[in-house]
Structure 1
């Protein structure tokens, strides 16, 4: 999941959907079925979440997902479909438990962060040192946390473009390493999310070279509120923390790729990215099964009426969540020229903005005009793709188009047990496919050079 645009849902998400296809959906909800007449994206999304389920990087679930994806892409008519394996350093989840023991006994809703250190089976217990922000932790004297458990607060705020995930997410990415360097025995953070449910948000963390990993977990936002209130009262807090998961080297992962051949194979292809892996608390519907469904359905719809001039390639990347390993592996393996790269990794909320990194203003104008009737505005920022395509973009200096989705409510679900199929609105999913299709009909049929902005 990329920092600013990594999964979303619509402001009014569908609830309680238990369907596995739009054909079944039509019988229950003719309005919803009419809003999403093309079933390809929904069937892919429902299939991946229901037939495979959670797909933690390096796990048996991710391995099954690769086999599933290979078969689906072949059945949909993609050619040169291949699984491209690579090894990773992954995280294998164990038992995740935490309880406040002082001043009140209370079991906390907690999840381990990826690459967390490991506690003994009986856990660790210690005095909590409260830090309102990451900067407050950075200012703590060296050695001041020895034998203690650091708690880092800093509540994330909603935004349409998800831009808060970058700065707020540093609490998760960097906080545990900073606490470890100052001697902490463990660290607990407020979940990086915007919900008020007792669902903790997982995600990866990083420990600098030479710093021994310590147990690192995230508690739900209501539980973080409780800890903060008690800390402000001045009462001492003690926690028991049990996180028995382990970091393991040499786990198997891999990418799945497939092509829709263009009429002119001499032209560099259009690359569309998503990621196949997910965190393991939910079924990875918005992050990122929706993205894989969107790009694949749009690639197929762009072929209606005949093959596009350029080949369209889909990259269902592995092990994005734990370190972006799939995108790096693809860039290392595929040195052949590409024309342009795009990625869908911000859920299934409606596309509201398009941004570019392209040198041809006439081409960007054509795309903006084509998207305007859908209510999609042209942004002034520079497109950067996403984690799964950024390595090849940087290596080859590729043109990029970003279709930004509404992220207002995405971080209610991100990396939680609530990342499930019922949170996706089929009509919003269809709007994504339609927007992507419009872009692909233009760029995949462009005969002239497609270049990045100078």
Structure 2
């Protein structure tokens, strides 16, 4: 009996050792690469580079709307910075679009109780008449309420939608609020309104307005569209609650110059892979910003992080196996034009983009990552999750991750992707406003997030996993 037990114990030990050996052999990184990954984490956590890049961008360039002088300066800035950071290859690819000029926007309540209001034209809005518009306000709590009324029933009125965005760590209040910004002017025009005014898509209580892109439709009259600051939307509501007519004056001088083609560019830099240079790990951010604020959060954070992450890896004694490509996309704010152009320009090589991620949301620390990869490569992703867990990153149980913003176009074209979820509870306090400035950057969270992107990029570049399968 004792001999049998001893034999069974020995057999169990052999099986356990065999399983353990198989697990080690199946790991994406060997012991030397794990040590390198740990060193990269330490380097990124101690480095000021990502912050220094954001400070440089916001100080030396500032806002950078598609086709503006700031946009042109940003392209030059990005090319020069990539070269200074030691990227092996740096180049630009042209992106074109229409040229919109913001001009000025003014609004005030005429009656019953006169007040000046803080207002911003929505991106792409047409102008009012030179003398402005004065009209009674028709109030709607939601875009759906506006959609529900008969066509041509708002003749001679300004439509006002007061829906207020809600605050969430993952920013999921944005979707229900942004529809009015994008489509509200078309709906209001169909109802006969002379203009659309909406509560800003933001979670703050500051007296600043939030801009953002809106859309017109062919064969629907183009009417001016503007956003009110949250406190001024409350003020307008308080006057409406008193039951009488409220008269509003609006004057917008914005215009799209049909004679001018706005020219921008995607800025791309690479650290070439040592063994598989044609296989690309893609890191993305968008270079443009709205023409208010300094674009520190949207998307200076992403620019600083992905450039710093690639640089840290590029300083290693030996390059990882795959190429790491940083893509700073043009014209995200005005319709993802740079992303669409990139997909078009790189259609023939999209299947060589083995894994990608972008940063274009949030301020605080990353708390979760959601993969969008082939089922067979999930074990490699779980291994990555183990390396990132000490930095507070949980691995989602879902495998439906889509890269953020511009890089989402590559996800849709088949690129395996990771979506990193940062704390975005306060992001929409500043989003698309004058308040998007350097002081809103959280330096310690930035270091941690840069370390996460650095480790992700190194892991993806060294792993033998085929993330499409």
Is TM (by shorter chain) over 0.5?
A: yes
> In the alignment, what sits opposite 2:403?
385
Matched, 1:352 2:367: yes
| Deviation of the 1:226 alpha carbon | 1.0
Q: Given that residues 355 and 379 in structure 1 are in contact (C-alpha distance below 8 angstroms), is that contact kept between their aligned partners in structure 2?
A: yes
CA distance in 2, matches of 1:259, 1:114: 33
| Deviation of the 1:36 alpha carbon | 5.5
CA distance in 2, matches of 1:35, 1:133: 45
Matches within 5 A, 1:22-421: 37-249=46-258, 250-303=261-314, 304-335=316-347, 336=349, 337-359=352-374, 360-381=377-398, 382-395=400-413, 397-421=414-438
> In the alignment, what sits opposite 1:26?
none
Q: Choose 194-203 or 258-267, whichever is displaced more.
A: 258-267
SS in 1 for 2:57: helix
CA distance in 2, matches of 1:104, 1:379: 52
> In the alignment, what sits opposite 2:456?
439
**Cα deviation per residue 1:97-133 (whole Å; 9 max; x = unaligned)?**
1111011111100000011121122211111100011
CA 1:36–1:422 in structure 2 vs 1: closer, same or farther (change >3 Å)? Answer: farther
| Deviation of the 1:80 alpha carbon | 2.2
SS in 2 for 1:277: coil
CA distance in 1, matches of 2:200, 2:317: 47
CA distance in 1, matches of 2:72, 2:221: 30
| Deviation of the 1:43 alpha carbon | 1.2
Higher relative CO (Cα under 8 Å, sequence separation at least 6) belongs to 1
TM-score (norm 2): 0.87
Query: Rg larger in 1 or in 2?
Result: 2
TM-score (norm 1): 0.89
**Cα deviation per residue 1:152-188 (whole Å; 9 max; x = unaligned)?**
0110110000011111111111111110111111010
Q: Choose 370-379 or 42-51, whichever is displaced more.
A: 370-379
Q: Choose 351-360 or 35-44, whichever is displaced more.
A: 35-44
| Deviation of the 1:300 alpha carbon | 1.9
| Deviation of the 1:88 alpha carbon | 0.5
**Cα deviation per residue 1:390-443 (whole Å; 9 max; x = unaligned)?**
222222x11101111101011000001100000111111101101111212211
RMSD, aligned CA: 1.5
CA distance in 2, matches of 1:117, 1:263: 52
Q: Which consecutive unaligned segments of at least 5 residues does structure 2 have?
A: 1-42
**Larger % of helix: which?**
2
**Cα deviation per residue 1:212-261 (whole Å; 9 max; x = unaligned)?**
22110000000001111222221211111111111234211111001011
| Deviation of the 1:326 alpha carbon | 0.6
**Cα deviation per residue 1:358-402 (whole Å; 9 max; x = unaligned)?**
11111110111111111111223421102211222222x111011
Q: Given that residues 288 and 347 in structure 1 are in contact (C-alpha distance below 8 angstroms), is that contact kept between their aligned partners in structure 2?
A: no
Q: Given that residues 282 and 415 in structure 1 are in contact (C-alpha distance below 8 angstroms), is that contact kept between their aligned partners in structure 2?
A: yes
Q: Given that residues 259 and 312 in structure 1 are in contact (C-alpha distance below 8 angstroms), is that contact kept between their aligned partners in structure 2?
A: yes
Q: Given that residues 380 and 465 in structure 2 are in contact (C-alpha distance below 8 angstroms), is that contact kept between their aligned partners in structure 1?
A: no
SS in 1 for 2:160: strand
CA 1:380–1:227 in structure 2 vs 1: closer, same or farther (change >3 Å)? Answer: farther
Q: Given that residues 332 and 338 in structure 2 are in contact (C-alpha distance below 8 angstroms), is that contact kept between their aligned partners in structure 1?
A: yes
